[in-house]
Structure 1
């Protein structure tokens, strides 16, 4: 799939020779992203921006100056716009991953959640505009769709900030878009590592909040591929949603520990039974491509026509992308295969 004859979906056309900054770069996605970029591409500079000194130290042991002289480590917080601006000088592309991601932690620490996820998004926009960054791609979550918890609401607000930022970049040329996907297998804080810790600790059962629960499921490797291709194809203001499978949480538990019983503990505050990636209200602005959906910015026919030229087709106005009504489900062997990938 190509957008134009000289702008392929292959991200090599923009990543090679470019200066890239990734916020939250020492997290699960950040490490997988750096793994892929240093293996397959040749950026001129790769800046790891995060606030955890120890994680940066540990990452620098794996990606050291001698072997990776183009990697730079910046200790900083997205709450600090001056530090962000300093880090973004000379940067071409920003991947924004930094967030307070845990639902329960966000509920109990609302001010911290807003400062990181919402004010942090604003600061990324301000710094990118000040430094004339070419493209900013922000990572979002299915929990930002019809949110029922503060984490999801804060990510929805962040998404709105990044989409609206395109109206502020006239004369500068900076472009802002969003990637939205579901649970990442083996990422820190996700359900699979939690089950694994319990199993390794000798648990006699695995906790299940509700046996009906479903989730979208994506591997770190697929997530990195999707972000890189979305960075290459983005115009401005789109929300990119990958076509990914769903799983039943009970199937995941059975795959990880087939002999352990399940203990039903009840759904938690702020937790959904099923997750959504595209609502019916989004459908009127959504195009379907081979491997993804693209939620277009409102009344931007030029962007719509560009994606339609490469095969984008409007979805039905009643379309919804919900984890319990997905057309693709992972079976036991496929679930086990995802659990072997990308254990960071």
Structure 2
């Protein structure tokens, strides 16, 4: 990691919400290597917090049981903090469809609660973890994350003389995160199938947990206020991903690949056929670096960015296989 970034985090007091989740816990893992003064980990999952604390010991880790819906708890959690990484969210699309206002309470009201607590304490930087499902959303989860993004970037406009910088990191699909398609496929193959495919034409942008967290840490270092940071990432056909996983895992569980039936079912409630990294209006404000796109309000860009997972070049099966091996899935 860049020496400047290492120096930036050294001695910092940091709060990570949703720290018992896949992304939050990996943020804690990476931060623990950068010599911060303290990492406060906030989650409403008591067992998950306990496991994170046991992994790292108590020297730098301060576990805080709490919920982002609770304003009073957040005020105490943010006291004297330099950087907030806000990863707490309800993320499963069908569950949010059937429990819409619970998604609003956590993803929208919870984000505003974190923003207000961070403003009151004049936190140095506030980074929201978002998703490409916030772009042209068709489901509750995406809509709540879009509003969370707007709440975050708009906080820069009314903060007055307070020093807090508010920015957003927008992810694609994080491979092998908790509850992701790779974990579902493993269980289906272990049970002898069938594996379920919602649509043969479905595509997604994908990234590893490690790449996702690297983006988060770089974004906090670079943030000046109002940006949306997006990692450059490949796209793939879900059908190709599924074929690779069946070919590799079926023998591991005592089956021949051809014995695992592929069952095509309807799209899940709220599910999109493809994802987008940004809207056309955002693309007109997007700056391009070697590793990421940075949407910066007020910027005019002439970049020709292909931001649709349906029209971008897809990973071939051999490339998918290499990525799955690199992340330790195969």
Give your verdict on TM over 0.5. Answer: yes
Secondary structure of 1:11's aligned partner: helix
State the 1:332 CA deviation.
Answer: 2.7
* Corresponding residue number in structure 2 for 1:308: none
Contact kept, 8 Å, 1:22 with 1:95, in 2: the verdict is yes
Is residue 302 of structure 2 the alignment partner of residue 331 of structure 1? Answer: no
Contact kept, 8 Å, 1:212 with 1:248, in 2: the verdict is yes
Q: Which moved more, 1:12-21 or 1:128-137?
A: 12-21
State the 1:10 CA deviation.
Answer: 4.3
Structure-2 change in CA distance of 1:92 and 1:269 (3 Å): same
* Corresponding residue number in structure 2 for 1:22: 16
Contact kept, 8 Å, 1:286 with 1:315, in 2: the verdict is yes
Is residue 235 of structure 2 the alignment partner of residue 246 of structure 1? Answer: yes
Q: What pairs up with 1:200-279 in 2 under 5 angstroms?
A: 200-203=190-193, 205-258=194-247, 259=257, 260-279=260-279
Give TM-score scaled by structure 2 length.
0.92
Is residue 28 of structure 2 the alignment partner of residue 43 of structure 1? Answer: no
Higher RCO structure, 1 or 2 (CA under 8 Å, sep 6+): 1
Secondary structure of 2:119's aligned partner: helix
Deviation sequence 1:120-142 (CA, Å, 0-9, x none): 11001000001110000101101
* Corresponding residue number in structure 1 for 2:307: 321
Q: Distance in 2 between matches of 1:342 and 1:83?
A: 37
* Corresponding residue number in structure 1 for 2:288: 288
Give the one of 108, 119, 125 matched to 2:98: 108
Runs of 4+ in 1 over 6 A off after TM superposition: none
State the 1:245 CA deviation.
Answer: 0.4
Is residue 127 of structure 2 the alignment partner of residue 137 of structure 1? Answer: yes
Secondary structure of 1:293's aligned partner: strand
Q: Distance in 2 between matches of 1:17 and 1:333?
A: 43
State the 1:102 CA deviation.
Answer: 0.7
Q: Distance in 2 between matches of 1:229 and 1:274?
A: 27
State the 1:183 CA deviation.
Answer: 0.4
* Corresponding residue number in structure 1 for 2:52: 59
State the 1:57 CA deviation.
Answer: 1.4
Q: Distance in 2 between matches of 1:314 and 1:47?
A: 41
Give TM-score scaled by structure 1 length.
0.88
Q: Distance in 2 between matches of 1:13 and 1:63?
A: 21
State the 1:53 CA deviation.
Answer: 0.7
State the 1:314 CA deviation.
Answer: 3.4
Contact kept, 8 Å, 1:186 with 1:339, in 2: the verdict is no
Deviation sequence 1:135-186 (CA, Å, 0-9, x none): 0010110100000000000000000000000112221110000011210000
Secondary structure of 1:154's aligned partner: helix
Contact kept, 8 Å, 1:217 with 1:246, in 2: the verdict is yes
Q: Distance in 1 between matches of 2:278 and 2:310?
A: 13
Contact kept, 8 Å, 1:177 with 1:236, in 2: the verdict is yes
Structure-2 change in CA distance of 1:229 and 1:76 (3 Å): same
Is residue 177 of structure 2 the alignment partner of residue 194 of structure 1? Answer: no
Q: Distance in 1 between matches of 2:17 and 2:230?
A: 21
Q: What pairs up with 1:80-91 in 2 under 5 angstroms?
A: 80-91=70-81
Unpaired segments ≥5 residues, structure 1: 1-7, 305-312
* Paired residues, number: 316
Contact kept, 8 Å, 2:306 with 2:312, in 1: the verdict is no
State the 1:198 CA deviation.
Answer: 1.0
State the 1:55 CA deviation.
Answer: 0.9
Q: Which moved more, 1:128-137 or 1:51-60?
A: 51-60
Secondary structure of 2:166's aligned partner: strand
Q: Distance in 2 between matches of 1:194 and 1:10?
A: 39
